[in-house]
Amino acid sequence: MTIDTSTVVGIAPGLRLQHEKAQDSWVLLYPEGMVKLNQSAAEILQRCDGERDLSQVIELLEKDFEQTGLEADVLSFVKIAREQKWIKLLNAESKQQG
C-alpha cells in the first residue's frame, strides 16, 4: 500500500502512545520495549488517530504550529514509522468498514 495524503494512519495494534512525566516526553510502548519520541514525531503520531487522513493531519499540524509546507516532512516520517511497524495504514474504504 503506497503512502500519500489520502492514507489514513493509526497506531499499530499492540502499541501504545503515551506521555511520560518522568521522561518529559512522549513514548511509544510495545512488547517489552519503548521508543522515546522527539517532538515532531510525537506531534505527528498524536494526530494519527485512525480516522483522519494524512492531508487532515498535515492541515492540523500547520494550523497548530502556524506553519506551511509540512507535507514532505510528514510523509517522510510516516514512511519511516511504517518501516518500524509503529503504525498501521488504512484506506478510506477499510476505515468505513470499521
Partner 1 sequence: MDNNSDQSSVIDTDKPGPPLWLLAELTYRCPLHCAFCFNPIGFDKIENELDTAGWIKTLRQARELGSVQVGFSGGEPMLRQDLEEIVAEARSLGYYTNLLTSGVGLKPKRARALKDAGLDHVQLSFQDSTKELNDFLSNTKTYDLKKEVAAMIKDNDWPMVLNCVIHRMNIDYIDKIIELALDLGAETLELANTQFYSWAKLNRDSLLPSREQIDKAYAVTERYREKYADRIRIISVIPDYYENRPKKCMNGWGNVFLTITPDGTALPCHTAGMLPGLEFPNVKDHSISDIWYESEGFNRYRGKGWMKEPCRSCPEQEEDLGGCRCQAYMLTGDPAAADPVCDKSPHRGVIDEAVARAQNGDTAEAHPLVFRDPKASQRLSTGKDGADVLLPG
* For partner 1, the closer CB: 59 or 95: 95
Cell of 62: 500547520
The C-alpha angle 17, 79, 40, rounded to 5 degrees, equals 50
CB of 29 to partner 1, least distance (A): 4
The Cα-based distances of 55 to 6, 31, 33, 67 in angstroms read: 6, 31, 31, 14
Decide whether 14 or 69 has the Cβ nearer to partner 1: 14
Q: Which is nearer to partner 1, 31 or 69 (CB)?
A: 31
Footprint of partner 1 (CB under 8 A): 13-14, 16, 18, 20-23, 27, 29-36
